[in-house]
Amino acid sequence: MRIFVDDGSTNIKLAWMEEGAVKTLISPNSFKPEWSMTLQGLDDSTVPASANYEIDGEKYSFDQLSPDAVRTTETRYQYSDVNVVAIHHALMRSGIEPQPVDIVVTLPLGEYLDENDQPDLANIERKKANVKRAVTVQGRESFTVRKVSVLPESVPAGFSVLKDLDDLDSLLIVDIGGTTLDIAHVRSKMSGFTKTYCDPKTGVSIITEAVKHALDASVRTRTSSYFADRLIQARNDETFLSRYLQNADQRAQVMKVLHEREKALTHRVTDSVGRFAGFTHVMVVGGGASLVASAVRQATGVSDDRFFVSDNPQFDLVLGMVAMKG
């Protein structure tokens, strides 16, 4: 069985074929060292054990609320224990029976390509070796990764547009994730790159970390990156904000910081987009797409019929992988 994995720093996105249909799953990354006790199964022995994992003698557990969760918003996450554990956690949540599987994963452009815009074979092999490491799951049968293939991030997300473009057309793909900003100017029919750019320090995490610090200072509580990301997603939902930030003054302070960093992120992205020229179409993808899409549209000046942002940009990459390789 082949499973496509967008193993981003904030969430793992899966896609696979089942009875002729594409199935998807999104699974957050929030893993702390050592195992946790579960309350599931105390009154029902058929309920599986908690999400406790072991890799090369190191123990990890899934905990979306722990402020001690391992930080994943760094490039080294791509080759880490937690990267592999997060993939296996998503597999365990998929409902697929544990079995040997072939995995297709991605690397940010800055890791996939070398200084000459050629595949960096050392990084690609390092990624393959990392994902193939064995992971055991407490009290449950686990998956075995039989084969690993690696694709560049961003590019597969544009496959559905690129395959129909004329020879003189091209697509600028702006992929804003949790950690990195990948921009690729790709020629029609996926015939090659015209230019690429990767900023490993520009991602939604610059807002996430600021919100965490604001919560620490204003509400006087340490919180998880998962909770901070939920606040960012719900930044326009007054019901959600009032429920979890009940003090109006504290809420206003946290939101002030959030919006300031949102502006900073948008400025970084549009400044980077300004490095590119000669494209005819633009697509914005990734978990941060909703934060920057309107600014990118304005900065590039393309017409509405040549600007693409999906209703669920989190899945653009992994669904593009299925379209390319499935």
The residue to which tokens 């904030």 are assigned: 10
75 or 199, greater pLDDT? 199
CB atoms within 10 A of CB 39: 8
The rounded radius of gyration (Å) of the Cα atoms in the chain is 20
Q: Please, what are the domains in the chain?
A: 2-154+319-325 (3.30.420.40)
Phi-psi region at 290: left, alpha or beta (left = phi > 0; alpha = psi -120 to 50): alpha
Residue 182 three-state SS: strand
* pLDDT confidence of residue 69: 82
The pLDDT tens digits of the residues spanning 228-254 come to 989 999 999 999 999 989 889 989 999
For residue 114, pLDDT beyond 90: yes
The pLDDT tens digits of the residues spanning 154-205 come to 889 999 999 999 999 999 999 999 889 999 999 999 898 999 999 999 999 9
Residue 293 DSSP label: H
The pLDDT tens digits of the residues spanning 55-70 come to 999 999 998 888 888 8
Both structure tokens of 290: 């909703």
Predicted TM-score of the model (pTM) = 0.89
* pLDDT confidence of residue 43: 52
Residue 139 banded pLDDT, cuts 50, 70, 90? confident
CB atoms within 10 A of CB 203: 28
Phi, psi of 125 (to 5 degrees): -70, -35
Residue 72 banded pLDDT, cuts 50, 70, 90? confident
Task: Report which secondary-structure segment, H or E, holds 270.
Answer: helix 248-273
Is the separation of the CB atoms in 23 and 15 below 8 Å? yes
* pLDDT confidence of residue 70: 87
Residue 17 DSSP label: E
Ranges of H-type helices in 69-189: 81-93, 109-112, 121-131, 159-162
Both structure tokens of 265: 């992120």
